[in-house]
Structure formats: C-alpha cells, structure tokens
Amino acid sequence: MYLNITQKKIIKYSHGPCLVLAGAGSGKTRVVISKIIYLINVCKVKSENIVAITFTNKSAQEMQLQLIKHFKNCNNKIKVNISTFHSFGLRIIKSELFHLNLKANFSLLNQEDKLFLLKTFTKSVFKKNNDLLLKLSSKISYWKNKLIDPLNAKLKSITNLDKTFAMYYDLYQFHLNNFNKLDLDDLIFIPTLLLKNNASARLRWQKKVDYLLVDEYQDTNVIQYNLIKMLNPKNFTLVGDDDQSIYSWRGAEPKNLLFLKIDYPHLKIFKLEQNYRSSGRILKASNKLIANNLHIYKKSLITQLKYGSKIKILQNINEEYEAKNIAKEIVSHYKKFNTQFSDYAVLYRSNQQSKILESIFIKNHIPYNINNRTQFLKFFEIKILMNYLKFILNPNDNFYFLKVINVPGRKIGISTIKKLKSWAIKNNISLYKTCYNDNLEKILSKNKVKSLKKFIKWIKESIVLSDVQPMQIISHIIKNINYKNWLKESSKDLVEFKKNVKNISIFVNLINELLIGNSQHPQMTLSEIVSYLTLYEDVNVNRRSHLKGVFLMTLHASKGLEFPFVFIAGLEEGILPHYSSISQNNIEEERRLMYVGMTRAKKELTLTFANKRSNYGLTTLSKYSRFLLELPQEDLVWINQKNNFNSNILLNNSINRIKFLKKMLKLSK
Ligand code: ATP
Ligand code: MG
C-alpha cells in the first residue's frame, strides 16, 4: 500500500498516544490498516493483543477483509479482531461472565424488545402514550450512557417525571438481571462498569490489549471514551474527522475530541491534508459547505486529482419524478461511459426515502443493492422465528415464553397465562419451569395441561437439538409448528404467502451460512448468531442482493465508503436538514451529514430535490435545502427536470436564485 510521508510517520509512531485528525478521503482508514500490519510485522506485537475498533459492521468487515488478504500467505496464524464498540463489549462480557454474575446463554434485547418490555411495565400508568414510552426508553439509554445505575438515577432525579422514569428503570433492570438478559446499551455499560470497579478485571484486559486503534473516532461518546481509557492508557492511535461527527443523539460530539488533549498532555496530533478520493470540484464544494460550521481544530484539504465536472442539481416535480430522474440519469450515464451499476450510489437522509427508489429501480430493471437487514428482521415471519430461537436458547426467559406460546395458536388463553404467571411468581420460578409442575391440574383444565406439557416437551427436544445439531433447528421449528400452513392461513393472499416463504428460506440459509462460517464471517454458535443478528443493523441479508447493482443507503450508513458517482436525494428543508434538527437548532450536525455524503463521491456528484413530497399520505410543498445555497454556485449546474418549479423558490432573494430563475424562465418559454 502506498503511503505518503505523514502517513508513514503516523505508522511508525508506535509508543504513546496518538490522534490523527484529518478530513474525508485523506487516507485515515488506510493508516489504521497499515499500522496494524506494521505493529505485527515490525513491532512484533501479537495479533491477538491488538484491538481495532470502528463504528459500523460494514467497515469492520471491509477492514478485516483487507487484513485477511494481506496476511493470506503468512505461515503464522494471524487474526486481528476488528470490532465495533458493541461487539468488543460483547467479547468482554462473554469472557467475564463469572464476575458479572451472568449465565452464558443470556439473551440480548433489541430496541423493539426493550420497548415491548417497558410497555408491559408501564401499561397501567402510561396507558397508550407512546411518546412517554419512547422518552422512558431513551432516558434509560441516557442513564446507561452516563454510567448511572438505577439507584443513582433515583437519587439524581428531581422532577416527578424523572422519578417515575427512574422507578421503571429499576424495575426494568431488575427484570433483565433476573432473566439473564442484556439490552444493547449494556454491551458498553456493563464492561465499562466492570473495568471501573474491578481492578483485577481491568488489569486482565490491560494485559490483553497491547495496542488499541479506533477508526471514526469522532463518533465516540463519553462512555466509550471511558472504556478506551481504562483499556490501555498508554499506546493507541485514534483517527477521526470532527467534520464527520454525526451521532450527537448518542452523545458523540466534536468537542469530545478536546478531552483527549486534557487527559493525555503528551498526545501527538497528526494531520493529513491530501485528499486521494474526490475531484477538485467536489472537494472545493464540500470544504465550502463545512466552512459554515464552527471548528475546534483547523484543517485544510487539497487534492491533486482533476477538477472534474460540475455538480448537478436536479429539481423534480415530486418524489416519484425524483426517483425516475435519478434512474434515468444512471442508465444514460451507464450506457454512455460503459460503467458498472456498482459504480453508483444513491444516498438519502432517511430509510423511508428508499421505497420509491426501489420501486422505480425494479420497474426499470436496474439492479440495486440495499441493506435491508433491519427491515428484514422486522418482517413478522422472521421475528417469530427469532423469538423461538431466543426462547430455546434461554427458556427461563418469560418474555420469550410469552412471545411464542401462542404463535401459532395453542389455545392457551389469557386466563391460563394469568394463572401460570401467578403460580410462577408465588414459587419464584420461570413460566417454563412452572409448566413442568405436576400439580398444574389443580389450577388448569386437563386439556390445557396437556397442550402445555406437549409444548414444553417439544421445547426440551429443541434445546437438545440446538446443541447437537444446530443446522437442523430452524427447519425443525418450521416443521413442528406447522409454520407454513399457519402463514398460508394468515396471509392476505398468495403473493404475500410466497414472499413470506421466500424470506423464511433466506433466513434459514443465513443461519446455516453463519453456523458454517465463510470468508466474511467466522464460524459461530447459535447463541453467537442470535446476539450477532440482534446487534448488527447492517449485515448483508438482502432480499434483492445484487452486489453488481447501484448502492442505495442512508447517509449515516455511507460513512467511510466511496463510489465514483454519487447521488444525494431529498435535498429539501425538513429532510436534509431534517425537521428534528431544525427544531433543535442542530443544523451543524446536518451539515456534517451532508459533508459525509458529498465526500463519498470520487468523480461526479448529483444532488436532487422534489418540489412536492407525500408524507404519510399528505402531499406538501417543499422548499429546497439551505445547503444548496452554501455551495460554490459557479461549480453547480441547476437542471429543472420538468420545467416546473415551485413558487417557494421566488421567496428567496439570493442573486444565484434569481439567476437560476431567469434561466428556468428562459427554458420554459
Ligand atoms: P473517510 O474520512 O471518508 O473515512 P479516510 O480518511 O479514511 O476517508 P481512506 O478511505 O483511507 O480515507 O482513503 C481514501 C481513498 O484514498 C482510498 O481509495 C484509499 O485507497 C486512497 N488512499 C489513501 N492513502 C493513499 C495514498 N497515500 N496514496 C494513494 N491513495 C491513497
Ligand atoms: Mg475512513
């Protein structure tokens, strides 16, 4: 790998704390990978003692692949673990179960399960107030991210609402501990608390970590920073770009970078100033946009690449035409320049924008690649199977018992469940164990007891099967619960049924693939697979997977990636910048998001917006994004796709807009 002088200096600086602060496309990730290789080859650091962390599963995988490629001919077995913060936390938890008082088969709650659980606790008080429920859930996350346990949350709460929230936090945490469960925040909260309070565990981990590297460091929040600090206070390399900090809702802010300088006065700061990715014009426009934000550290970025073609701004009548025009542009460009579809990426602010793009792409036979895993696992036919797996792995978890007991129906009604629950509480045992009780007939009818016993017997067999022949388990569940028949009966029509069956077969293949392991994933146990699927949002289980297709993804997901031709869709006030940020006066974060999107482009960049957009069935007029006016207008070319513009535009008296309008008027004559 070719490296410039500064990159080489960073790599050789292996003793002491080091921060690389540099703009997009300046070779930071290349530095992380090269430094790992250098540490192993030259400094003779053992690969298992290097911890490398990044923020998305996708970048972790990509970095891992590059290392595998590099070391493939090496005689010694070299395995560097590139993790995300969460997967690294999971690793600490798994090897410290004893000290954490956890059993190995703990279950991991995803966000949806967390909400469901909180709902059951708060039902009588919050009634159907979803807003309160969401607030409670994020308050609990907030507390965990500040290392505050329920007791301290109670002590610190002043308002009545916070006191109520703290009480539910206590109840929730008690439930998690009791049923051997963790939520996603626990994956960082628990290891950090452990290392903070347990000196021997801390020492153990410090011995395991000789060198620490973090890519995308700007996304680190305070608790993650504490974890880093406790792991290895001496030798580390953190690389980041404060302009790409886009997770303030998780507590990551550019100003966190300042803590480092205070905690590590000898911190060596390096800056990389050459961009190797984007054309001069794209770089100039991105720099101009981000100059509107306040900066803690000054950076400058130059490129030696060509100046390149103008940035196109496509104006469209509505979101349907926006998608159509993007599709049209891609196809004609593809034909003209003989490119690959995978050279193109369409980025957007929210997942919801992808629907129309997908449908237009399907209609026009344009192959595309979308990371739909989050949605995929949300399909109810998949959720049910996941619940079965979670229950089989942790049968004493009442939560999953209740999720599966009547799906498909086993005629176990509410009153039976109530009786079971009160028996379980009285005897302090799980619902699963309650079903074993020989005295059940005292409280339930013969028929009910029979069907419960049958269910439990089957679960017991499944537990054994999951242990000895995990490859069989999903098919075993599907067959035994007569799943396909049940789905057929509950589907709206044959098309829906076929879709469900297809998804199920994708899921079965995925589980089996992960059980065997492949070039991208190591072999995993069933329990590891379930945590993995719960943890990662971006695993590749695409319904229409077509790696040769156009990439469709959110701006957040695009971080760290690069594509020759990039489209950013929905450049409208309310979308980018997003309503929520406008109302919270957090435009800078939206600008950083736009900067991330623009700097993904190597050769060409196209920005699009629609004059009208339907949202939840309501069509509203939209106004194009303020960010378009912050770009160097001489580097833009505005194209009105249908010569049909929104009168809103007239409201702005910017000279450029007037120029643009004149042009539009001329065109429409
Ligand atoms: P981002 O901020 O978007 O994560 P980055 O700073 O991590 O970007 P990289 O992804 O490491 O940048 O590099 C950007 C591009 O430049 C990649 O295609 C990489 O291969 C290339 N590159 C990095 N360093 C050099 C170099 N010294 N010479 C030539 N190309 C380089
Ligand atoms: Mg990078």
Interval between CA 308 and ligand 1 midpoint (Å): 19
Q: Specify if 506 maps to a domain.
A: yes
Residue 135 annotated as catalytic: no
Taking CA 207 as the corner, what is the angle to CA 206 and CA 213, rounded to the nearest 5 degrees?
60
Does the Cβ of 602 fall within 6 Å of ligand 1? Answer: no
Q: Enumerate the known binding-site residues for ATP.
A: 22-29
Q: Taking residues 484-497, what's their average pLDDT?
A: 89
CA of 272, nearest ligand number: 1
- In the chain, the largest separation of any two C-alpha atoms, in whole Å, equals 87
Could you tell me if 261 and 309 lie in one domain? no
pLDDT digits (tens, 9 = 90+) for 644-667: 444 333 334 344 444 544 544 454
- If one compares 299 and 650, the residue with the highest pLDDT of the two is 299
Confidence of residue 413 (pLDDT cuts 50, 70, 90): confident
Indicate the residue among 214, 239, 272 that finishes a domain. Answer: 272
Residue 215 annotated as catalytic: yes
Q: Taking residues 96-122, what's their average pLDDT?
A: 89
Number of domains in the chain: 4
User: What are the beta bridge partners of residue 236?
Assistant: 17, 212
Could you tell me if 358 and 409 lie in one domain? no
Is the model's pLDDT at 148 over the cut of 80? yes
Could you tell me if 19 and 59 lie in one domain? yes
Confidence of residue 567 (pLDDT cuts 50, 70, 90): very high
The per-residue pLDDT for 372 is: 59
Interval between CA 217 and ligand 2 midpoint (Å): 10
Instruction: State the chain's mean pLDDT as an integer.
Output: 87
**Three-class SS of residue 542?**
coil
The per-residue pLDDT for 387 is: 93
Nearest to 383 by CA among 479, 263, 483, 298: 483
Residue 28 annotated as catalytic: yes
Give the lowest-confidence range in 56-70, 315-329, 465-479, 642-656: 642-656
pLDDT digits (tens, 9 = 90+) for 608-621: 999 999 876 778 89
Alpha helices in 428-525 (DSSP H): 431-434, 446-468, 470-480, 483-490, 494-516
The per-residue pLDDT for 644 is: 43
For 402, phi then psi, to 5°, come to -70, -30
CATH number at residue 656: 3.40.50.300
Among residues 6, 29, 54, 237, which one is catalytic? 29
Residue 29 annotated as catalytic: yes
Could you tell me if 516 and 587 lie in one domain? no
Residue 375 annotated as catalytic: no
Among residues 84, 237, 244, 633, which one is catalytic? 244
Among residues 96, 215, 381, 589, which one is catalytic? 215
- pTM summary value: 0.82
Q: Which domain holds residue 367?
A: 290-371+544-667
ipTM exceeds 0.95: yes
For 98, 164, 334, the CA distances from 202, given in Å and listed in that order, are 15, 34, 55
Nearest atom within ligand 1 for CA of residue 244:
2
Could you tell me if 85 and 116 lie in one domain? no
Pocket test for ligand 1, best of 66, 276, 558, 561 (most atoms within 8 A of CB): 276
The per-residue pLDDT for 537 is: 53
Residue 626 annotated as catalytic: no
pLDDT digits (tens, 9 = 90+) for 198-233: 999 999 999 999 999 999 999 888 899 999 989 877
The DSSP annotation for 295-360 comes to -SS----EE-S---PPEEEEEEEEHHHHHHHHHHHHHHHHHHHT--GGGEEEEESSGGGHHHHHHH
641: tokens are 């796709």
* Max avg pLDDT among 376-390, 461-475, 598-612: 598-612
Could you tell me if 201 and 347 lie in one domain? no
Does the Cβ of 600 fall within 6 Å of ligand 1? Answer: no
Does the Cβ of 444 fall within 6 Å of ligand 1? Answer: no
Indicate the residue among 507, 537, 567 that finishes a domain. Answer: 537
The per-residue pLDDT for 546 is: 44
Could you tell me if 55 and 200 lie in one domain? yes
Q: Specify if 101 maps to a domain.
A: no
Peptide bond into 577 cis (omega under 30): yes
Does the Cβ of 241 fall within 6 Å of ligand 1? Answer: yes
In one-letter notation, the amino acid at residue 625 is: S
Could you tell me if 121 and 164 lie in one domain? yes
Is the model's pLDDT at 165 over the cut of 80? yes
Does the Cβ of 7 fall within 6 Å of ligand 1? Answer: yes
Could you tell me if 425 and 527 lie in one domain? yes
pLDDT digits (tens, 9 = 90+) for 24-50: 999 999 999 999 999 999 999 999 999
The per-residue pLDDT for 113 is: 87
Q: Specify if 277 maps to a domain.
A: no
pLDDT digits (tens, 9 = 90+) for 531-545: 888 876 544 444 334
